[in-house]
A = this chain, B = another copy of it.
Amino acid sequence: MTRHIERQVELLKEKILRLGTLVEEAISKSITALINRDTHLAQRVMASDEEIDRMEVEVEEECLKMLALYQPVAADLRFVVAALKINNDLERMGDLAKNIAKRVSQLSTGEPCELPPEIRTMAMQAQEMVKQCLDAVVNSDPSLARQVREEDDAVDKARQEIRRTILQGIRAHPEKLENLLRINSVSKHIERIADMATNIAEDVIYMVEGDIVRHRSGD
User: Footprint of B on A, CB under 8 Å?
Assistant: 50, 53-54, 56-57, 60-61, 63-64, 67-68, 71, 73-74, 77-78, 81, 84-85, 88, 167, 170-171, 174, 177-178, 181, 212, 214-215
Q: Is A215 in contact with B84, judged by CB distance below 8 angstroms?
A: no
> In whole angstroms, how far apart are the Cα atoms of A76 and B59 in the complex?
20
Identical copies in the complex? 2
> In whole angstroms, how far apart are the Cα atoms of A63 and B63 in the complex?
15
A195–chain B nearest beta-carbon distance, Å: 10
Given A84-B81, A174-B174, A177-B170, A68–B73 Cβ distance below 8 Å?
Answer: yes
A181 cross-chain contacts in B, Cβ below 8 A? 167
Q: Is A53 in contact with B174, judged by CB distance below 8 angstroms?
A: no
Among candidates B85, B177, B212, residue contacting A171 with C-beta atoms closer than 8 Å: B177
Among candidates B77, B85, B214, residue contacting A67 with C-beta atoms closer than 8 Å: B77
Given A68-B73, A81-B84, A88-B85, A215–B57 Cβ distance below 8 Å?
Answer: yes
Given A68-B73, A71-B71, A61–B174 Cβ distance below 8 Å?
Answer: no
Among candidates B57, B64, B74, B214, residue contacting A81 with C-beta atoms closer than 8 Å: B64
In addition to A57-B214, A67-B77, A170-B174, 11 A-B residue pairs with Cβ atoms within 8 Å of each other are: A53-B215, A54-B215, A60-B212, A63-B81, A64-B78, A64-B81, A67-B67, A81-B84, A88-B88, A167-B177, A171-B177
Q: Is B212 in contact with A57, judged by CB distance below 8 angstroms?
A: yes
> In whole angstroms, how far apart are the Cα atoms of A71 and B67 in the complex?
8
Among candidates B63, B64, B212, residue contacting A61 with C-beta atoms closer than 8 Å: B212
> In whole angstroms, how far apart are the Cα atoms of A88 and B50 in the complex?
23
